[in-house]
Amino acid sequence: MQRSELYKLLNIKLDLAVEAHDLLRGDAGQEIPGVKMEEMPFEYGQIKTITILNEQGAAMMGRAPGSYITLDSPALRENNKMVHKKIGEILAEKLKTILPLQENSTILVVGLGNWNATPDALGPKVIEFSMATRHLFQYAPEELRHGLRSVCVFAPGVLGITGIETAELIKGAVDRIQPDFIIAIDALAAGSVERINSTIQVATTGINPGSGIGNKRVGINEETMGVPVIAIGVPTVVHAGLIAHQAMENLFNHLQNTPALRAVYQALQPVAVQQMINQVLEPFGGQLMVTPKEIDELITNTAKIIAMALALALHPGIPPQEVEHYLH
């Protein structure tokens, strides 16, 4: 069974543009019309930039035209502060290339997600570490705000906690504050276990909260907010059905290469395999999500990296060697 078919059967929407691109290119066996990909290695991993150029590319990729920058680094899962700092600096440089920054810009940083559920708490955790400065421009002497920009930070919670659509809360803040643009941070769903907390995606097109785990919410983008929205996401969960299918695929490959067991493999049809997976996931409505047991530490470390990158990208007066002093 092709993985694209599996995603349809499990009702999974890939949050990561790089995974959607790899899937489409693999199925088609050729480059995708209207889509351009660039790769750049760095000391601790690789950066892939996927640009959806037109509506044809958007239709095939299932997401809006724009740039999707993916920073892949297994070092994100390691507890190495020096490496994390360097990754944060690299992320900051990539953010500077896409943020519509002016000297007097006001920025609203929004941490999406549920602070009571660790795999979904990335956004609120970034807000916890981030520095708000907008009040300094209203109440503090000019020397205290030298080299800083006006930044507001906000963790609106989720519909199940507030009873209010997240997009409605953000739109209320936007109407009141009138920022020049929004940076939204959220946890994502991965298409493979290898990408859990080893990937950071930056998108110029905004975000649809919860889409990767089957929750349909109002999108947070320029169309709904009235200002540009930059989205930063990190995969923290993967669908259990994908893990089960990958294990079955490995078993099938082994059976295929073992003559005595080949008949067993031939007797197992993809439909039968899918039925087995559905039976296992049935108690959870087919939407069981899996996350590592170390997720608490992973979320905290990644949130610090993103908060560090935001501080460096947004505030020209913060030197990289002192950025940790500006994190809460």
* pLDDT computed for residue 233 by the predictor: 96
Same domain, 321 and 175: yes
* Same domain, yes or no: 117 and 157: yes
Residue 1 within a domain: no
Give pLDDT tens digits for 162-179: 999 999 999 999 999 999
Question: How many residues in the chain?
Answer: 328
Structure tokens at 61: 């990729």
Same domain, 202 and 280: no
Both structure tokens of 143? 């020397």
202 and 296 housed in the same domain: yes
Q: Residue 301: which CATH number? A: 3.40.50.1450
My answer on whether 231 and 268 are in the same domain is: no
Task: With respect to residue 2, please indicate whether it lies within any of the assigned structural domains.
Answer: no
Name which of 306, 256, 259, 272 is nearest 122 in CA terms. Answer: 306
Cα gap 80→78, rounded to integer Å: 6
Give yes or no: residues 162 and 195 share one domain. yes
Domain shared by 169 and 254, yes or no: no
Domain count along the chain: 2
**Nearest Cα to 154, choosing from 116, 127, 122, 182?**
127
Query: Domain range holding 310?
Result: 7-237+292-326
Residue 211 reports pLDDT greater than 70? no
Give the model confidence (pLDDT) of 104-125 as tens digits: 999 999 999 999 999 999 999 9
Question: Under a CB-based contact definition with an 8 Å cutoff, are residues 225 and 273 in contact?
Answer: no
Q: What is the spatial distance between Cα 314 and Cα 311, in angstroms, rounded to a whole number?
A: 5
- Same-domain status, 250 and 102: no
Residue 158 · residue 166 · CB < 8 Å: yes
User: Distance (Å, rounded) from C-alpha 184 to C-alpha 190?
Assistant: 18
* Residue 315 lies inside a defined structural domain of this protein: yes
Q: In terms of domains, do 165 and 253 share one?
A: no
Q: Would residue 277 count as lying in a domain?
A: yes
Distance CA 160, CA 235 (A): 21
Residues 184, 265: one domain? no
pTM, 2 dp = 0.88
